[in-house]
Structure 1
């Protein structure tokens, strides 16, 4: 079972890139972030023609998450996180696909930090941590995949010294990621590639792609009941070099059969 996460940075504007990648790699499950489209503008017909069923949580201009399943219909189990009735951002959706519970997330960026946006990011992560703990206690096989907007370690950023005060790398957010791992979640990419410098994002500015000045922001975390099924993990790095590409590349895992 191949599960991927891909921040598409505008699903309608980069639909050709998404469809090409789906056709070439054919993952079983795909978590998408930054749809940047309201609910009614999701390109369902094109996604279905590519062979995928979908559930999605859109938002005009910003945010937006979706879960796609090849030759299947995801069974939605949750839309949004609890704990803040005022939070209208489309940042989390959850669905069951072929016996696995998939959580797709797009965490807040949080910049500039400190400030209100950073405070929102930290509060959002407290809510996410509470939900993640609840999922673990259920004992279900769960994959939490998406753009976490966190570089967990120095190996996950091309120049750590330049990012110390950024909301993606400040100690508070790295501590939130560490707390997820302490709950029992396995960082799939690091599990199989513990020392390698692997990036999933390259900015459009300052020739970041050409210099390989990247960040690892996109993660797939596995619950204990599914972590032992992990066989492979990687990044489809070449997609970032395609014409009109997202600034993120798809990140994926392969799981053995239960």
Structure 2
């Protein structure tokens, strides 16, 4: 089973790129972020013709998340991150697909910092940490995939010097990500590439793509039930090299479902 995450940076603008990637790589599940489209503009028909069912939550001009599933209907679990009923940003979607809970997330960027956008980033992160704990401890196999807008360590960026003031590298952002991992999540890409410079994002400035001056901000986290099934992890960098590409490249894992730990059974209440 192959599960991927891809910040498409505008699904209408880059639909051809998305369809070409789906046809070539054929992920079983694809979590998309930054749709930049209202619900009615989502290309459900084109994706269905490509063999994918979809759940989506759009938003005008920015944000927006979707979960694609090849050949089977995803079963929606929730359409928002718990903890703030007034939060209208489309940043979280959760579904069950073939026995696995898939959470697709688009964590706030937080720039400029300090300021209200960074405060919102950290508050959203706290809500994610709280909800992630319930997911991790549920006993079900869970993957949380998406654009986390966090560079976990200096090893996850080509050169941190010019990014020190960016929200993606702030100590508070990194500390929140570390607390999330401490619940028991496995950072799949780093786990299987412990010493390599692996990037998932290259911005459009100063020939960063051409120079491979990238960052690792797209992550797939596996809970203890799912982690034993992890087999491979990688980045489809060829997508970033397309003309007028997203500044992100699809990031993926493959799973050996035979190695899944059995789900924990809840204890019966005492009579």
Unpaired runs of 5+ residues, structure 1, are none
Counterpart in the other structure of 2:56: 56
Unpaired runs of 5+ residues, structure 2, are 259-271
Counterpart in the other structure of 1:43: 43
Deviation at 1:219, TM superposition (A): 0.2
Instruction: Tell me how large the CA RMSD over aligned residues is.
Output: 0.7
Counterpart in the other structure of 1:67: 67
- Output the CA distance in 2 between the equivalents of 1:238 and 1:18: 12
Deviation at 1:163, TM superposition (A): 1.7
- Output the CA distance in 1 between the equivalents of 2:136 and 2:9: 30
Deviation at 1:201, TM superposition (A): 0.5
Counterpart in the other structure of 1:124: 124
Number of equivalent positions = 258
Decide which moves more: 16-25 or 135-144: 135-144
Counterpart in the other structure of 1:111: 111
Counterpart in the other structure of 2:268: none
Larger radius of gyration: 2
Task: Give the alignment's TM-score, normalised by structure 1.
Answer: 0.99
Residues 199-243 of structure 1 show CA distances to partners (whole Å, capped at 9, x for unaligned) of 000111111111111111100000000101000000001110011
Q: Tell whether 2:248 aligns with 1:245.
A: no
Residues 47-83 of structure 1 show CA distances to partners (whole Å, capped at 9, x for unaligned) of 0000000000110111000000000111010111111
- Output the CA distance in 1 between the equivalents of 2:29 and 2:81: 21
- Output the CA distance in 2 between the equivalents of 1:165 and 1:130: 27
- Output the CA distance in 2 between the equivalents of 1:13 and 1:76: 26
Once superposed, which parts of structure 1, at least 4 consecutive aligned residues long, lie more than 6 Å away? Answer: none
Counterpart in the other structure of 2:266: none
Contact 1:2–1:255, Cα closer than 8 Å, also in 2: yes
Which residues of 2 match residues 64-213 of structure 1 at below 5 A? Answer: 64-213=64-213
Task: Give the alignment's TM-score, normalised by structure 2.
Answer: 0.94
Contact 1:17–1:244, Cα closer than 8 Å, also in 2: no
Counterpart in the other structure of 1:34: 34
Deviation at 1:137, TM superposition (A): 1.9
- Output the CA distance in 1 between the equivalents of 2:165 and 2:172: 10
- Output the CA distance in 2 between the equivalents of 1:63 and 1:228: 32
Deviation at 1:166, TM superposition (A): 1.0
Residues 145-190 of structure 1 show CA distances to partners (whole Å, capped at 9, x for unaligned) of 0000000011111111222221001000000110011000000011
SS at match of 1:209: coil
Counterpart in the other structure of 2:13: 13
